[in-house]
Amino acid sequence: MSFFRILPIVLGALLAACASPQRQAASASAQRGTIASVRGCDVHYAVRGPAIATDPVAIVAHGFMRDGSYMAGWAEAFAAAGVTAVTVDLCASSAADGRHADNGADMVALRRALGAREAVYVGVSAGGLAALIAASNDREGTRALLLLDPVNAGGQARSAAGKVRAPVAALVAKPQACNAWGNIDPALRSLGNAATVRIANASHCDFEWPGDRFCRVACLATDSGAKRDEAQARIRRLGVEFVAAAARGDDDALARWRSAAGHFALEPVTSLPEHRR
């Protein structure tokens, strides 16, 4: 097994071992539930949002060897913007049992179990690949797709990207070890209805919310202080505004989002065509 194949396993084990107990406590107020995975294990989820659930819902996936608590900040921000948000603990996301297609299928199954007609699928890192697969297999049930520094595995992203029809926003860091040196970039370029924004001074760790210092150590994220805070603020603002606009079906808001994204990007923002349902 090559170094680059075992690197994610080593990093994931370090991150899991160093998980903060305070992060688990931060999710205590959410409404919780469980569905059966396509693999037969239990998929736990937590719901945040308005008293009357919105449709679409945002279904939010964590990265490799993490859990939904590492995306609780995203869910709380989506909920504050008026969108019901559901974090999920993917049960096929360990070093010994990582199955991205199964995780994508579980995200679709969760949308259906919640009784939502549509979802905005959201995912970070390997969870981004699962969200991409979910959107590709659930075209009628996908309102939009938000990818947060996603990674590829075995060419699955390119295959899935060709089947996605909903608007996509991909917020990415520069190529680095923890995003597999940007190995998903060719698949992102093949998306026909997408805006890809590379965020200045961002590390892979900045796309989780909340993050932790152990990720920054494992991923050799050296920026600190004002640069890190600025990158995180850009990622979070762009992500929340995209999901809120897409959930409302607001084409004018999506156009304004694209214009704002261009001010934050290292590279020109790719096209995000008008989306009507």
Per domain, the residue ranges of the chain are 3-264
Point out the least confidently predicted range of 99-113, 119-133, 263-277.
Answer: 263-277
Nearest to 231 by CA among 174, 177, 153: 174
Angle formed at CA 61 by CA 59 and CA 66, multiple of 5 degrees: 150
Segment 206-221 mean pLDDT: 90
Segment 181-194 mean pLDDT: 92
Q: Report yes or no: 157 and 184 within 8 Å, Cβ to Cβ.
A: yes
Q: Is residue 185 very low, low, confident or very high in pLDDT (cuts 50, 70, 90)?
A: very high
pLDDT at 16: 47
Domain 3-264 = CATH 3.40.50.1820: yes
Angle between helix axes 126-137 and 100-113 (nearest 10 degrees) is 60
pLDDT at 276: 36
220: left (phi over 0), alpha (psi -120 to 50) or beta: left
- The DSSP H or E segment spanning 57 is strand 57-61
pTM of the model: 0.88
